[in-house]
Amino acid sequence: MPHVAQRTSVFSESVIREMTRLAIIHGAINLAQGYPDFPAPAFIKQAAIDAINADINQYAITWGSARLRAAIAGKTRRFYGLDLDPDREITVTCGATEAMMAVMLAVVEPGDEVIVFEPFYENYVPDAAMSGARLVFVTLHGPDFAIDPDELRRAFSAKTRAIIVNTPNNPSGKVFTRGELEQIAALCQEFDCFCITDEIYEHILYDDHEHVVMATLPGMYDRTITISGLSKTFSVTGWRLGYVLAPPILSNAVRKVHDFLTVGAPAPLQEAAAIAIETADDYYPELRGMYAAKRQVLLGALREAGFLCHSPQGAYYIMADFSALGFEGDDTAFAHHMIKDIGVAPVPGSSFYRAQPGGHSGGASLVRFTFSKSQETLETAAEKIATL
């Protein structure tokens, strides 16, 4: 029998989706996968219905409909002061997921090193495997997921092609400060490498935390590739809409990969996304307020039950340390216990850390919960967590 390609053997099926499956089998509340169980805003849904009825149903331009690229350019100018050419610097993709894969395939040569902070969003591992990148990890240290500047510097070398920065961060809830981004920017310039940012949670921030866009820092525009999308901001994870902002030479390479991966994102949904972005400036503060309230419900329930958790500064996840609960076993055993016996599904912390020799992992006493759920779901989950 012929065998399958080696590159598929270095990653396994998403642990997050596996937890979702277990949650369904055991009837547990799914606080594992980061998608809302509440309705998407009416304005974006109506715009999609109207677009289908108006017969915007054929292939859009490969790099995104003109209206959506113009809307993204307008928003990027209003919010971040970046003036982008929609014809040459913006590419619409099938989600931030495709965006990241297309970017890695476009800029990484096999054997190049790509730096990633851990805990990390699990997709970066298969992205690296497919593109041939070797990941170099820099650990964010608890309880507040701080960067050690010496460790960060040691990660860079002549082989570094890029660093991936996800802010606001999944799973830690960290929002990188301007000072931290400046440190990273200085190293990118010294070692002449790219910065790939994943800013999918750019509008989900708490307290007075500010989203700083790496591409706006001095000297960074030409070497930064910014990824974002609609999934989280507009609660439409199933629509598969993301985008890449990058200087023309980089955008050109990304567009070529994107064209042959997917041709383009769904045309009627791009129209709806354009209308949503054109009109949503007042919606973003509402979104923040909604998630701030949800954060308090879950944080309160977890702390009450004895978890140690750092309050997230952005995104919609809580990394919770269960070591004070007296449970004998690792994060995977604890997650299974939560699903089967308590009725609430988290994700084992180790899925966000590299596997260490001997099976040890940085996340062995952690599980991640999402609070991207309705008030009712969160309150029921809180009652169940209280039985721990």
Ligand X SMILES: Cc1ncc(COP(=O)(O)O)c(C=O)c1O
Measured from the CB atom, is 84 or 96 closer to ligand X?
A: 96
Measured from the CB atom, is 237 or 332 closer to ligand X?
A: 237
Listing DSSP states for 119-175 in one string gives: S--TTHHHHHHHHTPEEEEEEPBTTTTB--HHHHHHH--TTEEEEEEESS-TTT---
Measured from the CB atom, is 97 or 160 closer to ligand X?
A: 97
In the complex, least distance from residue 3 CB atom to ligand X, rounded to whole angstroms = 30
In the complex, least distance from residue 33 CB atom to ligand X, rounded to whole angstroms = 8
In the complex, least distance from residue 383 CB atom to ligand X, rounded to whole angstroms = 26
CB 67 within 8 A of CB 271: yes
- The residue whose two tokens read 């977890």 is 302
Measured from the CB atom, is 119 or 343 closer to ligand X?
A: 119
Phi, psi of 314 (to 5 degrees): -165, 180
In the complex, least distance from residue 96 CB atom to ligand X, rounded to whole angstroms = 3
In the complex, least distance from residue 99 CB atom to ligand X, rounded to whole angstroms = 7
Q: Which two tokens stand for residue 382?
A: 């809180």
Interaction site with ligand X (CB under 6 A): 34, 95-97, 121, 166, 170, 198, 200, 229, 231, 237, 242
329: left (phi over 0), alpha (psi -120 to 50) or beta: left
CA–CA separation, 146 and 186 (whole Å): 18
In the complex, least distance from residue 294 CB atom to ligand X, rounded to whole angstroms = 16
CB 15 within 8 A of CB 368: no
Listing DSSP states for 263-313 in one string gives: S-S-HHHHHHHHHHHHH-TTHHHHHHHHHHHHHHHHHHHHHHTT-EEPPPS
Measured from the CB atom, is 95 or 268 closer to ligand X?
A: 95
CB 366 within 8 A of CB 331: yes
Which among 166, 148, 140 has a CA at the least distance from the CA of 353? 140
In the complex, least distance from residue 231 CB atom to ligand X, rounded to whole angstroms = 3
Q: Which two tokens stand for residue 186?
A: 């200085």
Residue nearest to ligand X (CB): 95
In the complex, least distance from residue 45 CB atom to ligand X, rounded to whole angstroms = 17
Measured from the CB atom, is 307 or 316 closer to ligand X?
A: 316
Measured from the CB atom, is 34 or 64 closer to ligand X?
A: 34
- What sign results for the dihedral spanned by CA atoms 256, 263, 133, 240? positive
Measured from the CB atom, is 264 or 343 closer to ligand X?
A: 264
CA–CA separation, 238 and 265 (whole Å): 12
